[in-house]
């Protein structure tokens, strides 16, 4: 015995169901063709039970076994990791660029000269102008105009140091404030991940594969990895575990931990484990890039520039305090500059109001003596022990050059990493992405399969009617 008329009719109905299911899946794929997180789906078709007959086993058609996603788990995990690295370089490069703007100059690590950088008025250029004006004053020590030029250039240099220091300080503060916001986003993403994982478990326990929700889960993991480096595991029963920098945050779909702010003695924020307060040693992610830019690149730049200001104040003032002004007076406590570093550097108010108080002579009776003025002018070529044995301009050029190299390296690393990420995304898209042409072709196949199955069902129905009529 074979399938018989009734068995063949059931086989035709199953074939129609299979074709309809395939058409529905293709339609859903087409509807999500522009959805970037969607992984295309397909029906898994198995052969129906085999019927033994006198001529041997006979198939009874096909049936839909399940609906499955087309994904590559290796690529998914790779992109979680690579996106984290990309965002690290993205953040680092972004904030170093902002520090470059804080200098008020365009940094070119390949062509930096003694000026340190290029711009309408750079610090190196300002110091050179200051020393040159002292040299000009040494030619005409009693000239009020030349003295005013020295004071003007001193004010310009002090203002520039103030401005650069303030900008870099404000930038570090802005980054610090943003760290707070990013930590809030990390905790929000962790909650979202746990909720999505629980939702998947609830759906799949009663309804089968939660493919679209799994798309959201993968997207959420990638978004979280952009902030911090994460790793994930899945238990045998499909429950999710998520780790941030090795510290478990989600345990079997349940949010069991979170991250919190840790503040150091300078008020700088770091990321810590909420359970025991352990500070994370992040390895990648936007947050790591922010912190590295804040605490290494920008902090070092500010510290080094402020050190130049400190030495300039010390060197100029120590010479100025030995001299006599045009009144024949020596105020050995009076310096040309006030303050101690780049943040508070200024020019002596009494000298600004009366340029004759600028102390340029080495003799109380020889007001036209220019010994002190020439000594200050000579600072332009003097090597300073506390500036690594370099001149002021050389040290500034070296400082900005190192910063420019860090910026150039971050830019190069970002470009390389973006290339890697795009390659992986392209590979994944070729696997999970929806091909409109392919889905349209599948629709035609399913349509014809449905029509043929309906034709078979109609034929079997006619045969059944004939058999029934024969028995009447």
Provide the pLDDT for residue 2.
63
DSSP conformational letter for 50: E
- Distances, alpha carbon 379 to alpha carbons 112, 146, 296, in Å: 22, 18, 30
Whether the Cβ atoms of residue 281 and residue 271 lie closer than 8 Å to each other:
no
- Helical segments of 363-391, H only: 371-377
Whether the Cβ atoms of residue 316 and residue 376 lie closer than 8 Å to each other:
yes
Provide the pLDDT for residue 472.
62
Provide the pLDDT for residue 112.
43
DSSP codes joined into one string, 304-357:
HHHHHHHHHHHHHHHHHTTSB-TTS---TT--SEESSSTTT-EE-HHHHH-GGG
Distance of alpha carbon 196 from alpha carbon 178, whole angstroms: 27
Strand partners, 62: 47
**Digits of tens for pLDDT over the chain (472 positions)?**
566 777 788 888 888 889 898 999 999 999 999 999 999 999 888 887 777 777 767 776 788 888 899 999 999 999 999 999 999 999 999 999 999 998 877 776 554 444 444 444 578 899 999 999 999 999 999 999 999 999 999 999 999 999 999 999 999 999 999 999 999 999 999 999 999 999 999 998 887 889 999 999 999 999 999 999 999 999 988 899 999 999 999 999 999 999 999 999 889 999 998 888 889 999 999 999 999 999 999 999 999 999 999 999 999 999 999 999 999 999 888 899 999 999 999 999 999 999 999 999 999 999 889 999 999 999 999 999 999 999 999 999 999 999 999 999 999 999 999 999 999 999 999 999 999 999 999 999 989 988 998 888 888 777 877 777 776 6
267 three-state secondary structure? coil
Kindly report the pTM of this predicted structure. 0.88
Whether the Cβ atoms of residue 210 and residue 325 lie closer than 8 Å to each other:
no
Whether the Cβ atoms of residue 428 and residue 76 lie closer than 8 Å to each other:
yes
Strand partners, 273: 259
Which residue in 50, 53, 79 sits closest to 63, CA to CA?
50
DSSP conformational letter for 282: -
Structure tokens at 140: 């005409």
Provide the pLDDT for residue 330.
93
Whether the Cβ atoms of residue 87 and residue 285 lie closer than 8 Å to each other:
yes
Distance of alpha carbon 334 from alpha carbon 323, whole angstroms: 10
Provide the pLDDT for residue 108.
61
Provide the pLDDT for residue 111.
43
Residues in contact with 109: Cβ distance below 8 Å, sequence separation at least 6, in sequence order: 401, 404, 405, 407, 408
Whether the Cβ atoms of residue 224 and residue 189 lie closer than 8 Å to each other:
yes
Whether the Cβ atoms of residue 249 and residue 257 lie closer than 8 Å to each other:
yes
Question: Within a 10 A sphere around the Cβ of 284, how many other Cβ atoms?
Answer: 24
**Would you give the end-to-end CA distance of the chain in angstroms?**
24
Residue entry with tokens 């912190």: 291
């Amino acid at each position: 015995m074979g399938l018989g008329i009734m068995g063949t009719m059931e086989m035709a109905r199953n074939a129609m169901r299979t074709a309809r299911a395939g058409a529905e899946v293709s339609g859903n794929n087409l509807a999500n063709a522009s959805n970037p997180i969607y992984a295309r789906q397909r029906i898994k078709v198995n052969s129906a039970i085999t019927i033994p007959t006198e001529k041997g086993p006979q198939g009874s058609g096909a049936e839909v076994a399940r609906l499955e996603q087309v994904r590559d788990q290796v690529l998914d995990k790779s992109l979680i990791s690579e996106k984290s690295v990309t965002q690290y370089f993205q953040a680092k490069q972004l904030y170093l660029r902002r520090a470059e703007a804080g200098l008020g100059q365009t940094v070119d690590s390949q062509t930096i000269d003694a000026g340190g950088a290029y711009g309408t008025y750079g610090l190196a250029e300002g110091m050179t102008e200051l020393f040159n004006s002292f040299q000009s004053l040494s030619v005409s020590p009693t000239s009020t105009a030349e003295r005013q030029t020295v004071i003007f250039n001193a004010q310009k240099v002090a203002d520039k140091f103030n401005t650069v220091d303030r900008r870099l300080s404000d930038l570090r503060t802005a980054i610090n404030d943003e760290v707070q916001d990013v930590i809030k986003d990390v905790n929000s993403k962790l909650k979202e991940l746990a909720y999505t994982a629980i939702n998947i478990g609830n759906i799949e326990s009663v309804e089968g594969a939660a493919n679209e929700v799994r798309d959201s889960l993968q997207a959420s993991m990638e978004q979280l990895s952009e902030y911090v480096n994460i790793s994930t595991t899945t238990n045998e029963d499909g429950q999710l575990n998520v780790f941030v920098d090795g510290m478990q945050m989600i345990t079997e779909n349940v949010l069991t931990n979170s991250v919190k702010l840790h503040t150091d003695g300078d008020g700088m924020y770091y990321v810590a484990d909420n359970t025991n307060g352990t500070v994370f040693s992040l390895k990648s992610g936007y947050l790591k890039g922010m912190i590295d830019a804040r605490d290494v690149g920008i902090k070092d730049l500010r510290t080094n520039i402020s050190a130049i200001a400190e030495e300039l104040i010390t060197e100029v003032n120590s010479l100025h305090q030995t001299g006599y002004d045009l009144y024949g007076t020596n105020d050995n406590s009076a310096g040309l500059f006030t303050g101690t570093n780049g943040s508070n550097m200024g020019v002596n108010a009494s000298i600004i109001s009366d340029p004759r108080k600028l102390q340029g002579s080495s003799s109380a009776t020889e007001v036209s003596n220019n010994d002190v003025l020439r000594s200050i002018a000579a600072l332009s070529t003097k090597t300073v022990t506390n500036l690594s044995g370099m001149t002021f301009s050389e040290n500034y050029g070296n400082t900005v050059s190192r910063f420019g190299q860090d910026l150039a390296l971050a830019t190069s690393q970002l470009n390389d990493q973006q290339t890697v990420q795009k390659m992986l995304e392209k590979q994944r898209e070729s696997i999970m992405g929806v091909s409109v042409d392919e889905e349209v072709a599948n629709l035609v196949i399913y349509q014809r399969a449905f029509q043929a199955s309906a034709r078979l069902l109609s034929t079997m129905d006619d045969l059944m009617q004939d058999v029934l009529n024969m028995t009447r």
